[in-house]
Structures are given as structure tokens and as C-alpha cells.
């Protein structure tokens, strides 16, 4: 298997829908790649803002993590919470990530970055988790504005954002999002 094979396989992310939205009746939901792109964009701006506030953060590392965080889903798809009850998603994603990264020039480094996200092992990995949840809520707001309902379960992630170590830095952003949701209801 070559890097080209990896690039082609990663293309699956452009075709695979985010299953949670599909199960809630969102017709033609965003793809995993759509989601990953905005997570990377959010990560970039939040990391730069943290650095401007004097927080020691490696922006390049955070971006690498953001780009890699959902790559294993190119093989596994976006497994919905209902299915996760029956299988060990973490173990499956770890195996898929290892198999994908083995094709790269630096498999250990990419796997380490992926684990930083999965296990919250670094400030950068935890920031990407924060960006991932924030992106999901921005998407939920967009779907609700488009008329889709039954998305309350996604908004439980607000609590996670408020409990995050990053909340003190991005309180205004999180609360603005929560306020927009209230206006939309």
C-alpha cells in the first residue's frame, strides 16, 4: 500500500455522512470530511487566540491532530452511539488508525498525534476535542435553523464545553452559540 492508496481511501470521508444527523432525520447531512474541515478551521483560530493570550500551544501540532482526528472513520464510518453499545469503537478505531498510518513516512508520530486527541494526552489534543464539540453544535444550530428538530441530545455537549479547561478563554463564544440556539427555538 502506498501514500496514494491512503489518499484515495481518505476520500471515503467525503462520501460518508455523519450518522448522528442521519438518524435524527437530517436529509443529506454533512460528510465526515465536511466536519473535519471545520474542526481544523476552528482549531486554527482557537489555537492562535490561545497563543495570543500567552498560552503555550503548538498550533501546527494542533492542526495536525485536527486533520487526523477522524481519519480512521474512512474505514469504520461514523459509528452512531446506538451501535457503539455493541462494539468497542475505541479498539476498532485504534486498529484502523494504525493500519492507515503505517503507510506514511512517520507512522509512529501520526499515531501519537491521533492518540493525543483520542485520549486527551496533550493541550493540543484536548483543544481539538473542544473544537470538535463546538463544530458539532454550530452544525446543530445550522440544521435547526433549516427546520430540523429532535437535535436536543447534541446540545448536551454544551455542558462538556462549559466544563472544559478552555471555557475560560472561549466563554463568550460558547455562550453566544447557546444564546443563538435559544433565539432559534
Q: What is residue 1's predicted lDDT score, i.e. its pLDDT?
A: 67
Q: What is residue 140's predicted lDDT score, i.e. its pLDDT?
A: 97
Asked: is 3-184 a CATH 3.40.640.10 domain? The reply is no
**Mean pLDDT, the chain, whole residue set:** 94
Percentage of the chain lying above the pLDDT 90 cut = 83
Q: Say if residue 185's pLDDT is above 80.
A: no
**Total residue length of the chain:** 185
Q: How far apart are CA 105 and CA 26, in angstroms?
A: 39
Q: Which of 15, 18, 19, 21 is nearest to 146 (CA)?
A: 21
**Per-residue pLDDT tens for 144-184?**
999 998 899 999 999 999 999 999 999 999 999 999 999 87
- Global pTM value: 0.94
**Per-residue pLDDT tens for 49-87?**
999 999 999 999 999 999 999 999 999 887 877 787 788
Q: Is residue 38 within 8 Å of 29, Cβ to Cβ?
A: no
Strand partners, 31: 17
Amino acid at each position: 500500500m502506498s501514500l496514494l492508496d491512503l489518499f484515495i481511501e481518505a476520500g471515503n470521508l467525503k462520501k460518508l455522512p455523519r450518522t448522528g444527523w442521519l438518524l435524527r432525520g437530517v436529509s443529506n447531512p454533512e460528510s465526515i470530511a465536511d466536519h473535519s474541515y471545520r474542526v481544523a478551521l476552528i482549531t486554527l483560530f482557537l489555537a492562535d487566540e490561545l497563543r495570543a493570550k500567552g498560552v503555550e500551544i503548538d498550533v501546527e501540532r494542533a492542526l495536525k491532530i485536527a486533520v487526523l482526528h477522524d481519519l480512521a472513520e474512512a474505514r469504520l464510518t461514523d459509528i452512531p452511539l446506538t451501535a457503539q453499545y455493541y462494539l468497542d469503537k475505541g479498539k476498532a478505531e485504534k486498529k484502523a488508525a494504525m493500519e492507515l498510518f503505517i503507510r506514511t513516512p512517520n507512522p509512529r508520530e501520526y499515531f501519537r498525534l491521533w492518540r493525543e486527541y483520542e485520549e486527551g494526552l496533550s493541550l493540543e489534543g484536548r483543544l481539538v476535542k473542544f473544537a470538535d464539540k463546538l463544530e458539532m453544535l454550530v452544525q446543530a444550530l445550522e440544521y435547526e435553523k433549516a427546520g430540523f428538530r429532535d437535535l436536543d441530545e447534541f446540545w448536551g455537549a454544551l455542558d462538556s464545553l462549559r466544563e472544559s479547561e478552555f471555557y475560560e478563554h472561549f466563554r463568550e463564544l460558547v455562550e453566544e452559540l447557546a444564546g443563538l440556539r435559544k433565539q432559534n427555538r
